[in-house]
Chain A
Amino acid sequence: MPGLDIDGLGISIGNRNVVRTVDLRVKPGTCAGLVGQSGSGKSLTALASLGLLPGAARVIAGRVLLGGREIVTPDRDRTAEVRGSGIAMIFQSPRTALNPVLRVGHQVGRVLRRNGQHGDPRRRCIELLAAVGLFEPDKVARLYPHELSGGMCQRVVIAMGIASEPQILIADEPTTALDVTVQADILDLLDDVRSRTGMGMLLISHDLGVVAERCESISVMWQGTIVEAGTNATVIGSPRHPFTAELVRGLAHLPETGGLPAQSSSAGPADDPAPEAGG
Chain B
Amino acid sequence: MRPLIEVRGLRKDYRRGGDVLHAVDGIDLAVMAGESVGVIGESGSGKSTLARLITRLERPTSGGVFFQDTDVTGLSDRALRWFRREVQPVFQDPLTALNPRWTVRRLIAEPLKIYGERGAERRVDEVLRDVGLTKELMTRRPRDLSGGERQRVAIARAIVLRPSVLVLDEPTASVDMSARRALLTLLKRLQSEHGLTCLYISHDIRTIEETCSRTIVMYRGRLAEEGPTTAVLDSPSHVYTQILMSSIPRIDNATAQQDRPRARPASGQQQPDPGCLFARRCPRALPECAADPPVVEVTPGHHAACVLAGRASRPQ
- The reply, when asked whether chain A contacts chain B directly with Cβ atoms under 8 A, is yes
User: Which A residues contact B (CB, under 8 angstroms)?
Assistant: 37-38, 133-135, 147-152, 179-185, 187-188, 206-210, 212-214, 236, 243, 246-254, 257, 266-272, 274, 276-279
Is B148's CB under 8 angstroms from A269's CB? yes
Contact assessment for A278 and B192 in the assembled complex, using a CB-CB cutoff below 8 Å: yes
Known pairs A135-B267, A269-B182. 12 more at Cβ < 8 A?
A152-B265, A183-B247, A206-B177, A209-B250, A248-B251, A250-B206, A252-B251, A254-B209, A266-B181, A272-B185, A274-B186, A276-B188
Chain B 234-261 interface residues, beta-carbon cutoff 8 Å to A: 243-244, 246-254, 257, 260
Using CB atoms, name the residue of chain B closest to A268. B178
Chain-A contact segment, one of B16-24, B84-92, B210-218, B293-301? B210-218
Q: For the complex, what is the distance from the CA of A179 to the CA of B265, rounded to whole Å?
A: 12
Interface magnitude class on chain B = 35 or more
User: With A and B bound together, what is the CA distance between A188 and B186 in angstroms?
Assistant: 35
- In the complex, the answer to whether B36 meets A279 with C-beta atoms within 8 Å is yes
B266 an interface residue at 8 Å Cβ cutoff? yes
Check if A277 sits within 8 Å of B178, measured CB to CB: no
Asked if B52 CB lies within 8 Å of chain A CBs, one says: no
CB of B179 within 8 A of CB of A269, answer: yes
Is A213 touching B253 in the complex (CB atoms < 8 A)?
yes
With CB as the reference atom, state the residue of chain B lying closest to A207: B177
B189 CB to nearest A CB, Å? 5
- Return the contact of A213 from the options B213, B249, B262 (Cβ within 8 A): B249
Minimum Cβ distance to chain B for residue A156 (Å): 13
CB distance from B273 to the nearest CB of A (A): 17
Q: Which 7 A-B pairs rank lowest in CB-CB distance, beginning with the nearest?
A: A209-B249, A277-B192, A179-B42, A184-B247, A268-B178, A213-B249, A277-B188
The answer to whether the Cβ of B282 comes within 8 Å of any Cβ in the partner chain is no
- B106 on interface, CB distance cutoff 8 Å: no
A37/B178 in contact, CB under 8 A = yes
CB pair A209 B203 closer than 8 Å: no
Query: Which residues of A are found within 8 Å of B203, using beta-carbon distances?
Result: 179-180
Which residues in B have their C-beta under 8 angstroms from that of A210? Answer: 249
Asked if B271 is at the interface (CB within 8 A of a chain A CB), the reply is: no
Between-chain CB contacts (< 8 Å), 10 pairs: A151-B265, A180-B42, A181-B244, A182-B42, A183-B249, A184-B249, A212-B249, A214-B254, A267-B178, A272-B189
**Which chain B positions have C-beta within 8 A of A268?**
148, 176, 178-179, 182
Q: Are A251 and B181 in contact (CB under 8 A)?
A: no
Contacts of B132 in A (CB 8 A): 270, 272
Q: Known interface pairs A184-B260, A254-B210, A279-B213. Does A271 touch B182 (Cβ–Cβ under 8 Å)?
A: yes
Within the assembled complex, what's the spacing in Å between the Cα atoms of A140 and B63? 39
A256 to chain B, nearest CB (A): 12
0/1 per residue, B132-151, Cβ < 8 Å to A?
11000000000000101100
B191 at the interface (CB under 8 A from A): yes
In the complex formed, the residue of B with least CB distance to A133 is B265
Tell me, rounded to whole Å, the shortest Cβ–Cβ distance linking A190 to chain B: 12
Contact B243 A279 (CB under 8 A): no
Chain A residues with Cβ below 8 Å from B251 are 209, 212-213, 236, 248, 251-252
Is there contact, CB below 8 Å, between A270 and B257? Answer: no
Known: A38-B176, A152-B265, A247-B178. A180 touches B212 (CB 8 A): no
Name the residue of chain A whose CB is nearest to the CB of B265. Answer: A135
Task: List, in ascending order, chain B residues with CB within 8 A of A148's CB.
Answer: 268
Cα A37 to Cα B180 in complex, Å, equals: 12
Contact B182 A270 (CB under 8 A): yes
Residues of B within 8 A of A267 (CB): 178
A248 to B252, alpha carbons, bound, how many Å? 12
| Chain A: CB-nearest residue to B185 | A272
How far, in whole Å, are A135 and B203 apart by their CA atoms in the complex? 26
Contacts of A252 in B (CB 8 A): 251
Looking at the assembled complex, report how far the CB atom of A22 sits from the nearest CB atom of chain B, in whole angstroms: 19
